[in-house]
Structure 1
Amino acid sequence: MKYRQLKNLGLKYLFFVLVCSRTSLSFAQQDSLVIAKPLKFDEAILLGIQNNKQLKIANTNLAIAKENVDQAKIAKMPRVGLSAGYTYIGDPKLYEGFYESNITVDYFNHMGFANVVSSVPIYSGGSINNRIKQQELLSQMQESVVKMTEAEVKNAITEQYFTLEKLYRQIEVTKQNIINTDLRISQLKSRVNNGQNLKSDLLRTELQQSNFKISVFRSTNTIELISNYLDILIGFPTNTILKPEVAESMLPTENIDLQQSLADAFQNREEIKRAEIGIKISESSLSLTRSGFRPNINANLILNTEYPAQWPSYVNILNYWAAGLSLSWDVSSFYTLKHRISGDKLEIDKSNIALEITKDQISTEVKNAYVRYAESKENIKTYKKDVELSMSNYKIVKSRYDNDFALISEIVDAELQLNNSRISLVNANLDLIIQYYSLQYAMGKL
């Protein structure tokens, strides 16, 4: 008997600890939302452009691509080489026969030379110009990547920003329901004590309130997770809890035409521009390969000095210069480049197919975003009507309940229905904003 009492006491203590720990955790989370940092939408976008790490990498790659263009242009500049040397020569010996006798020659032991060689390309079969053009195209490609990355960052910030606001609005609606259920629980406790209601009515209301609190608890956790992701996108410390500042004026009312949306997307999307540049790069690779069929002509200039001028007779200094032209032609290229040219032509065909695939993908994205945007606008009308109907139903059921003509289960269901319809309307309004910006992204306007 004593063991059972101790066991029950231990279970009660464990339950008390769990409740306290859960309560303290809930309070800690509520405190984190209280100290949340307010953030405007325009400010979030600007911070993302300034601080996003992926965008910084894209801009660095663009700077590298521009340096590669300048490096390719240097091939047109003269090449200058300087060489010099010094040699100490021991006194040479002249042998007669098979090492029978020798004569030592007294010779000047020091020998040195220096020369400057310069070469200027006059004609290279177009290879230099083609390489410069190819690097310029790669630089344009990287510029397109920067713009694509910026649009992707903006789109990600937009989605997370308004999803965050959606959670705050849900918590706001649910907290109001918690206040209402608190009032009802206090009333029910009195009515149960007076025998006006069953204990099950009180338990059902307490269960409803518990579900509301769990909903707030989960939404608070999700706010912290999304804030962490948004912090990374905009360059804030990852422990910063963010609070969006969303006004009703941000709800879009623009009517958008599908065909115009597709036309804008084909004109603005960087993916299409990038695919078109890919075709030009493939064509420049073919031109570069074909330049291998042509000869190379260079102008050369040599300045030379030697001491002694000639061994072993003279110990004078000899200076001379020479200028001329040189021609080199890899005649074997007429058959060694055959397969490379065929491969380059196939690359052009592949690039054209990639362009068509990109257009198809963008067309699908635009249509999906357009449908979701139109759907969100219609959803708002439906959910507004649902809130009105749910509110009317709740008022009727509450009046009947207050006059003892309805069960507690009916008012609980009516309140849940009203809560769900309000949250659905909140989600629909913010989904409309998210879908609007998704459509702007698909059109290449974000």
Structure 2
Amino acid sequence: MNKRLIASIGVLSFFMYISAQERVLSIDELFQLADQNSKSIQLHALAIDESAQAVKVAKDARLPSIRAQVDLNYIGDGCMTDRDFSNGIHADMPHFGNTFVLKASQVIYAGGSIHANIQKAKLQHQLSQQTYDNNQQDLRFMLLGYYLDLFQLRNQQTVYEKNIEQTRLLVKDMRAAYQQGTALKSDITRYELQLQNLQLGLTSTVNRLNVLNHKLTTTIGLEPSVHIVPDSTALFHINVDKRQEIS
């Protein structure tokens, strides 16, 4: 019963893995997708934009300011009466009125506060850029580790599959030899146990592949159903330090 259960789990996990959509992804494409879709990268990029806007606002304090004010009013006709409200007299008055005020001002001397605020905003912008770069580098090293582990596990999966195929042939040969009296029952049992261990190893490898693949896809913004296939030709040209200028 245990043999059948292990075999069933291994076959189910294997077919679930190979039935998913595969996508060959180079390291450069991996980093590009991370820059575009990573939530942490987007948050730090937003902080850079906000600090750049703060620098602009601080510099605007040196410019002259202009204020304009427009007032419109309406006055109805007048009416005068005695104290007992008798003998009312109608008095015509202008109905519409308007005023327009334009003021221009500029700071002549502020004790260096404007310059200090500009420098403070620039330093905050530089800090935001540095924080972005550090976060980007940390994320890339993490993704690169996942990527290399994925490459290693896929190779390990291939080795397991070949060994399982060879062991199945050995079990078949042992059974035939046992029927002919040239092999012992223990020989068949030994190879069947070896086959079970290989199938269990394959199941464990596929499960680890699924976990790593899920971590990668969720970080770079792909659907979890997509199985990433590392580009073996790109492993010899790894460059993590690719910082991009963000205005």
Q: Which of the five TM-score ranges fits, normalised by the shorter chain?
A: 0.7 to 0.9
Task: Name the structure 2 match of 1:362.
Answer: none
Contact 2:64-2:106 at 8 Å conserved across structures: yes
Superposition deviation, residue 209 in structure 1: 0.7
TM-score, normalised via structure 1 length: 0.45
Task: Name the structure 2 match of 1:164.
Answer: 150
> Is 1:202 equivalent to 2:188 in the alignment?
yes
Paired letter, 1:60: L
Contact 1:58-1:145 at 8 Å conserved across structures: yes
More divergent stretch after superposition (227-236 vs 161-170): 227-236
CA 1:233–1:239: 2 relative to 1, 3 Å: same
Task: Name the structure 2 match of 1:91.
Answer: 78
> Is 1:76 equivalent to 2:62 in the alignment?
yes
Paired letter, 1:138: Q
Q: Aligned partners of 1:179, 1:106: CA distance in 2, in Å?
A: 112
Contact 1:32-1:241 at 8 Å conserved across structures: no
Cα-to-partner distance string for 1:261-306 (whole Å, 9 max, x where unaligned): xxxxxxxxxxxxxxxxxxxxxxxxxxxxxxxxxxxxxxxxxxxxxx
Contact 1:39-1:245 at 8 Å conserved across structures: yes
Task: Name the structure 2 match of 1:353.
Answer: none
Contact 2:75-2:93 at 8 Å conserved across structures: no
Paired letter, 2:220: I
> Is 1:133 equivalent to 2:128 in the alignment?
no
Contact 1:65-1:138 at 8 Å conserved across structures: yes
Q: Aligned partners of 2:142, 2:98: CA distance in 1, in Å?
A: 69
CA 1:174–1:28: 2 relative to 1, 3 Å: closer
The correspondence of residues 244-323 of structure 1 with structure 2, limited to 5 A, is: 244-246=230-232, 250=236
Q: Aligned partners of 1:51, 1:157: CA distance in 2, in Å?
A: 13
Q: Aligned partners of 1:249, 1:63: CA distance in 2, in Å?
A: 34
Contact 2:147-2:230 at 8 Å conserved across structures: yes
CA RMSD between the two structures: 3.8
| Aligned with 2:12 (options 17, 25, 38) | 25
Q: Aligned partners of 1:105, 1:131: CA distance in 2, in Å?
A: 62
CA 1:183–1:86: 2 relative to 1, 3 Å: same
> Is 1:65 equivalent to 2:51 in the alignment?
yes
> Is 1:40 equivalent to 2:21 in the alignment?
no
Contact 1:85-1:113 at 8 Å conserved across structures: yes
Q: Percent identity?
A: 23
The correspondence of residues 262-411 of structure 1 with structure 2, limited to 5 A, is: none
CA 1:105–1:75: 2 relative to 1, 3 Å: farther
Q: Which runs of 5+ in 1 are unaligned?
A: 1-11, 252-432
More divergent stretch after superposition (219-228 vs 62-71): 219-228
Q: Which runs of 5+ in 2 are unaligned?
A: none
CA 1:30–1:139: 2 relative to 1, 3 Å: closer
Paired letter, 2:12: L
Residue 241 of structure 1 aligns to a residue in which SS? strand
Q: Aligned partners of 1:39, 1:174: CA distance in 2, in Å?
A: 23
The answer to which structure, 1 or 2, has the higher relative contact order (CA under 8 A, 6+ apart) is 2
Contact 2:24-2:228 at 8 Å conserved across structures: yes
Task: Name the structure 2 match of 1:221.
Answer: 207
Task: Name the structure 1 match of 2:159.
Answer: 173
Larger radius of gyration: 1
Number of matched pairs? 239
Contact 1:58-1:146 at 8 Å conserved across structures: yes
Q: Aligned partners of 2:74, 2:188: CA distance in 1, in Å?
A: 108
